[in-house]
Amino acid sequence: MNALLTVTGLTVRLPLDGEPRKVLSDVSLGIGHGEAVGLVGESGSGKSMTARSIARLLPQGAQVEGEIGYAGTDVRALRGQGLRDFRSKVSMVFQDPRAHINPVRTIGDFLTEALRVNRRVSRRVADGQAVRALEEVGVADSRRRLRQFPHELSGGLLQRVMIASALLTEPRLLLADEPTTALDVTTQAEVMAILDELRRERGLALLFITHDLELAAAVCDRTMVMYAGRIMESRASALLHERPLHPYTAALTAARPSVLRRVHRLTTVPGRPVSAFEAPGGCPFAGRCAHVEDRCRERRPDLRPLAGGEVACVRAEELHQEPAVTRD
Ligand SMILES: Nc1ncnc2c1ncn2[C@@H]1O[C@H](COP(=O)(O)OP(=O)(O)O)[C@@H](O)[C@H]1O
Ligand SMILES: [Mg+2]
């Protein structure tokens, strides 16, 4: 597939207690035009930092190595107008809409600011575009909404406003960082359906970040699994879900409660996740892996092509011969 976005060898360090700590380690990925790609993994695995690196929204003091290319441009070299143009083509939706919206300004001001400031569109025209954008994400009574303040809207409604805002600049790539995690279940499903429909209608590429492998599989063509700041496996979502190659992916799949399986106790992935800077030498998952061998701790496994995808496990072939997860 013709790549819209390519990330090569991305390593990011952030200052923690005054010391640079590695949070992403040699991340390489590509997203094609109109492709929906999931990024899953436990908390702290580096999903948000991956999206923020792409969007050029890393915290102050971040040290970055590697390359980020968007439609033939070097994203890391962008400044001024070039960076503003890039930000209109690559939009981000965050987990907690309230943390990313100014509470003392109206929804209308929030939605039209980029259009009025960057594109010099008149207030009246910008309002018209904002109304249409709100209608597109299923917000009723959208003219009135423009005059309201964020606290007057529910979380689900506010997330729709954020999605409308992300779409106003007609982006080609949407980075959605756990957009439904903070919402209740029914609202989650509605917001997901809207995102999915808009994406298909507009041929948008999507990086969909979630800790829920099943949700990623339902929405995305391909899913990448991240652990300790690294990509551990990347494959077509259906394959990844049905027959995971990496023991970490298998553990994540098994940990998900299922209505089809009666479980007496909910399975969890044993141990706690480690960050990139805490990861030992060798495979970062070795300490929690049910299939660990000495050689897993000796050398860090590269992400390599296998079975139509990529996997970073030296035992993937032999484990793949047996069912990767045992279920009763
Ligand atoms: N502002 C920050 N400064 C320093 N470290 C951070 C900051 N934000 C996140 N981290 C660390 O970076 C690592 C990756 O975090 P993150 O990308 O937010 O994980 P995820 O989104 O997968 O939960 C974690 O170890 C986290 O503690
Ligand atoms: Mg996150």
CATH code, 292: 3.40.50.300
Band the pLDDT of 256: cuts 50, 70, 90: low
For residue 262, is pLDDT > 60?
no
CA-to-CA distance for 302 and 104, rounded, in angstroms?
49
pLDDT tens per residue, range 31-81: 999 999 999 999 999 999 999 999 999 999 999 999 999 999 999 999 999
Please report the atom of ligand 1 found closest to the CA of residue 42.
22
Q: Which range, of 214-223, 248-257, 279-288, averages the lowest pLDDT?
A: 248-257
Pairwise pLDDT comparison (178 vs 323), residue with the higher score: 178
Amino acid 22: pLDDT: 96
CA angle 61, 276, 302 (to 5 degrees): 120
Give domain status of residue 188, yes or no: yes
For residue 326, is pLDDT > 80?
no
Please report the atom of ligand 1 found closest to the CA of residue 15.
4
Give domain status of residue 123, yes or no: no
For residue 324, is pLDDT > 80?
no
* Probe target for ligand 1 pocket from 21, 39, 49, with the most ligand atoms within 8 Å of CB: 49
Amino acid 105: pLDDT: 96
Distance of CA 314 to the CA centre of its chain: 26
CA-to-CA distance for 323 and 325, rounded, in angstroms?
6
Give domain status of residue 146, yes or no: no
For residue 159, is pLDDT > 70?
yes
Is there an atom of ligand 1 within 6 Å of 22 CB? Answer: no
Q: What's the mean pLDDT in 106-133?
A: 91
pTM of this prediction? 0.92
Band the pLDDT of 258: cuts 50, 70, 90: low
Beta-sheet strands, E only, within 151-201? 173-177
Q: What's the mean pLDDT in 106-117?
A: 91
Give domain status of residue 33, yes or no: yes
* Side chain identity, residue 51: A
Please report the atom of ligand 1 found closest to the CA of residue 211.
22
Q: What's the mean pLDDT in 170-188?
A: 92
CA-to-CA distance for 122 and 36, rounded, in angstroms?
34
Amino acid 255: pLDDT: 73
* Side chain identity, residue 218: A
Give domain status of residue 132, yes or no: no
Contacts of 185 (CB under 8 A, 6+ apart): none
Is there an atom of ligand 1 within 6 Å of 59 CB? Answer: yes
Amino acid 129: pLDDT: 94
Total of domains in the chain: 1
Average pLDDT, the chain: 91
For residue 260, is pLDDT > 70?
no
Please report the atom of ligand 1 found closest to the CA of residue 14.
4
Amino acid 114: pLDDT: 80
CA angle 152, 174, 115 (to 5 degrees): 60
pLDDT tens per residue, range 205-233: 999 999 889 899 999 999 999 999 999 99
Amino acid 126: pLDDT: 94
Give domain status of residue 275, yes or no: yes
Is there an atom of ligand 1 within 6 Å of 126 CB? Answer: no
Give domain status of residue 204, yes or no: yes
Please report which ligand is nearest the Cα atom of 49: 1
Band the pLDDT of 18: cuts 50, 70, 90: confident
Contacts of 300 (CB under 8 A, 6+ apart): 281, 282, 283, 284
Give the distance (Å) from ligand 2 centre to CA of residue 252: 17
Is there an atom of ligand 1 within 6 Å of 23 CB? Answer: yes
* Side chain identity, residue 170: E
DSSP 168: H
Q: How many CB atoms are located within 10 Å of the residue 151 CB?
A: 9
Is there an atom of ligand 1 within 6 Å of 46 CB? Answer: yes
* Probe target for ligand 1 pocket from 27, 47, 48, with the most ligand atoms within 8 Å of CB: 48
Domain that holds residue 202: 3-98+172-320
Give domain status of residue 153, yes or no: no
DSSP 76: G
Give φ, ψ of 6 to 5 degrees: -130, 135
